[in-house]
Amino acid sequence: MRSSGARELVALDRAHVWHPYGPMPGRTDPLVVESASGVRLRLAEPAHGQVELVDGMSSWWSAVHGYNHPVLNEAARGQLERMSHVMFGGLTHEPAVRLATRLVEITPEPLRHVFLCDSGSVSVEVAVKMCLQYWRSMGRPDKRRLLTWRGGYHGDTWQPMSVCDPEGGMHELWAGVLQRQVFADAPPAGHDAPFDPAYADHLRELVARHADELAAVIVEPVVQGAGGMRFHSPDYLRVLREACDEHDVLLVLDEIATGFGRTGRLFAAEHAGVSPDVMCLGKALTGGYLSMAATLCTEGVADGISRGEVPVLAHGPTFMGNPLAAAVACASIDLLLSQDWEQEVKRLETGLREGLAEAAGIDGVRDVRVLGGIGVVQLDRPVDMAAATEAAVREGVWLRPFRDLIYTMPPYVTSDEDLALITRAVRAAAAAA
């Protein structure tokens, strides 16, 4: 595309297009991406001297295999020629059945039933609906609140917003309108932090105190993502599992960001050896190619719902089970599991640790943390987003800092050289922010 074309696109974008958390029209011009291949985004016109940017974000945790991957392209092409979509009510098809079966195989043992929807937020909506409906069916309709811990993020639609961080979080505006949930303190920071018995008691006490009104506990296991990129010890998941079992509360694990290997285990729940009653997946499910998410539940939850006065889960989006997305998701999972992905994520972890260590010495840096394929630099003040983004782009890297955080979760296929470029860009962004 000629540069005048890119400028015209930006003008039209500013006039008509909403972006995530963006004002309309946008405060800063977005960069126009012309194509993407491997780990690189190709811009329609150079920005700060760069026409290609190494993607340090995997398009928000999703593009784990990079872009324009021949295997995923072939899966999409092959399915496109057969059927891109067909309604899922009363009909079924091979890609959806194959994907659901595969997900049951690879997720923790008792998960057996799969709801294929179209975004992470909707998969959380479905999870909540499953839990509330389960308790209604069990004759306990008062169990309809949720417990979570502060600092979390579960999506932008109505129920997920109610379990996002209530203070200083992205949905503070709606605090008085959303259903009031039960909030525990955020877990003590640090994946390797020593177990804090007082915090475990705090969790147990809250579950016990609210048990009569709690349908479920919902948390992000091991990494709280968009709420603050905090890591915590997996031990607290075990505490929650035990407390939920003791007090008749369901446990929902939101693995939308952490699923498919990002934390070094296929699912973050595996760090704790914990199985949830309900699990949400999204983002890397299709390798970032198409919009699809999934909510899995146990036989017990599905069976409970089917015994209710309304024996169906009343949810059925138009694009449920989309065959194109399901075919690509199957290919993406097979591709991931056909490789030594654990080794690749370990390689990223080592590269991120080495490359980000120096960031600790940058003025205003409060913390540097790495887990699996996730690297985070936290400042002691809000990031100047424009300055930090520009500094990364000058290094040839795409990052999307927010709040007080500059962070990266590169595609698993990122080479050591490109990883070094990314960590240099994170340091430059931190210094400029």
Say if residue 98 carries a ligand binding annotation. Answer: no
Query: Which residues between 356 and 385 bind ligand PMP (CB under 6 A)?
Result: none
User: Quick one: which of 225, 265, 226, 282 has its CA closest to 62?
Assistant: 282
Kindly state whether residue 39 participates in binding ligand PMP, applying the rule CB under 6 A. Answer: no
Say if residue 153 carries a ligand binding annotation. Answer: yes
User: In the stretch 152-191, what mask flags binding to ligand PMP with x, by CB under 6 A?
Assistant: -xxx------------------------------------
User: In the stretch 209-228, what mask flags binding to ligand PMP with x, by CB under 6 A?
Assistant: -----------x----xx--
Q: Cβ of residue 288: shortest distance to ligand PMP, in angstroms?
A: 11
Q: Which of 66, 95, 120, 355 binds ligand PMP (CB under 6 A)?
A: 120
As given in the structure block, the two tokens for residue 286 are 């299709």
Sequence letter at residue 254: D
**121 versus 378: smaller Cβ distance to ligand PMP:** 121
Sequence letter at residue 297: C
Query: Which residues between 253 and 282 bind ligand PMP (CB under 6 A)?
Result: 254, 256-257, 282
**288 versus 396: smaller Cβ distance to ligand PMP:** 288
Strand partners, 149: 184
Strand partners, 35: 42
User: Quick one: which of 214, 132, 202, 120 has its CA closest to 161?
Assistant: 120
For residues 131-142, b (16+ Cβ closer than 10 Å) or e, as one string?
bbbbbbbeeeee
CB 373 within 8 A of CB 409: yes
- 283 catalytic? Reply is yes
Q: Cβ of residue 160: shortest distance to ligand PMP, in angstroms?
A: 6
**282 versus 396: smaller Cβ distance to ligand PMP:** 282
Say if residue 400 carries a ligand binding annotation. Answer: yes
As given in the structure block, the two tokens for residue 308 are 């209710």
Say if residue 129 carries a ligand binding annotation. Answer: no
Which residue, chain included where needed, has tokens 């993020």? 153
Which residue, chain included where needed, has tokens 């194959």? 98
What's phi and psi for 21, nearest 5 deg?
50, 35
- Report the C-alpha gap between 256 and 312 in whole angstroms: 25
Say if residue 283 carries a ligand binding annotation. Answer: yes
**285 versus 305: smaller Cβ distance to ligand PMP:** 285
| Torsion of the alpha carbons at 271, 274, 277 and 280, rounded to the nearest 10 | 0
Q: Which of 199, 283, 289, 418 is catalytic?
A: 283
CB 291 within 8 A of CB 321: no
Strand partners, 223: 231
- Report the C-alpha gap between 207 and 216 in whole angstroms: 9
CB 224 within 8 A of CB 230: yes
- 407 catalytic? Reply is no
Q: Which residues are CB-neighbours of 23 under 8 A, at least 6 positions away? A: none
Q: Which of 50, 58, 59, 119 binds ligand PMP (CB under 6 A)?
A: 119
- 21 catalytic? Reply is yes
- 254 catalytic? Reply is yes
Q: Which residues are CB-neighbours of 352 under 8 A, at least 6 positions away? A: 370, 373, 374, 375, 408, 419, 423
Q: Cβ of residue 120: shortest distance to ligand PMP, in angstroms?
A: 2
**147 versus 226: smaller Cβ distance to ligand PMP:** 226
Q: Which of 58, 59, 107, 121 binds ligand PMP (CB under 6 A)?
A: 121
Q: Which residues are CB-neighbours of 85 under 8 A, at least 6 positions away? A: 319, 322, 323, 324
Residue at shortest CB range from ligand PMP: 120
**123 versus 233: smaller Cβ distance to ligand PMP:** 123
**228 versus 323: smaller Cβ distance to ligand PMP:** 228
- Report the C-alpha gap between 35 and 44 in whole angstroms: 8
Say if residue 160 carries a ligand binding annotation. Answer: no
Q: Cβ of residue 364: shortest distance to ligand PMP, in angstroms?
A: 26
Q: Which residues lie near ligand PMP (CB under 6 A)?
A: 119-121, 124, 153-155, 220, 225-226, 254, 256-257, 282
Residues annotated catalytic, as ranges:
21, 153, 254, 283
Binding-site residue ranges: 60, 120-121, 153, 254, 283, 316-318, 400
Binding-site residue ranges for substrate: 60, 153, 283, 316, 400
Binding-site residue ranges for pyridoxal 5'-phosphate: 120-121, 254, 317-318
